[in-house]
Structure 1
Amino acid sequence: MQTELIIVSEYCHKCDIEPSFIDLLQEEGLIEIHAEGGEHYLLVSQLPEVERYSRMYYDLSINMEGIDAIHHLLERMENMRREINLLRSQLHVYKRHGLEEMDW
């Protein structure tokens, strides 16, 4: 499996963002930067997150601590959504087996 990488400096130039912003995202643990041959790379799969964070930072003037807090809240919401879906599927199994009469 080949991993697609983008050079950080080229991405920053094309998107008109500061390379130091990418460094801040890495320091906060929000993204991973890969270094190879003196160059720094982003995973293509991380681009939607980087774009979301850059809109928060540059367009909405949310500081890095705020971005980190939003990131953790969104993660918690996603985990809760998965848990709700799992519980719903388990509930459907109980209903299909005639257990809907039980007093929960």
Structure 2
Amino acid sequence: MQNDLIIVSDYCDKCHIEPAFIDLLQENGLIDILLEEGKPCLAFSQLPDVERYSRMYYDLSINMEGIDAIHHLLERMESMQKEIAALRGRLRMYGDLF
């Protein structure tokens, strides 16, 4: 198995979450589950997102629809922050002309 993957059942055991929660995340398009040697796995790069969703679901009692809405809002906010940074860069370039 690749070093950048963790088996879903192992992750769930270590983090004390139910595998069905991981299935819900995949069904809602929030994460991708990969099959490695016939076993469902998560990429390490997805673990921060899974941990965030897990805190929302278990600690804050936010349902899957709410998590999906929050996910889309955070993506939109990140996109807008990148756009603002690019616009500030362009303004600095024009500011140097005067």
Whether TM-score is above 0.5 comes out as: yes
Unaligned ranges ≥5, structure 1: 99-104
Which runs of at least 4 in structure 1 moved beyond 2 Å after TM superposition?
none
Match of 1:95 in 2: 95
Match of 1:17 in 2: 17
Which residue identity does 1:44 align to in structure 2? F
Match of 1:60 in 2: 60
1:16-75 Cα offsets, whole Å, 9 max, x none, are 000000000001110000012220100000000000000000000000000000000000
- Give the conservation status (yes or no) of the 8 Å contact 1:3–1:43: no
Determine whether 1:38 maps to 2:34.
no
SS of equivalent to 1:6: strand
| Distance across 2 between alignment mates of 1:84 and 1:29 | 27
Judged with a 3 Å threshold, the aligned counterparts in structure 2 of structure 1 residues 78 and 28 are, in CA distance, closer, same or farther, namely same
Unaligned ranges ≥5, structure 2: none
Match of 1:81 in 2: 81
| Distance across 2 between alignment mates of 1:33 and 1:79 | 25
Q: What's the Cα RMSD here?
A: 1.0
Give the % identical residues: 69
Q: Which of structures 1 and 2 has the bigger CA Rg?
A: 1
| Distance across 2 between alignment mates of 1:3 and 1:79 | 30
Give the TM-score taking structure 1 as reference length: 0.90
Give the TM-score taking structure 2 as reference length: 0.96
Which residue identity does 1:78 align to in structure 2? E
SS of equivalent to 1:41: strand
Size of the alignment, in residue pairs? 97
| Distance across 2 between alignment mates of 1:13 and 1:3 | 19
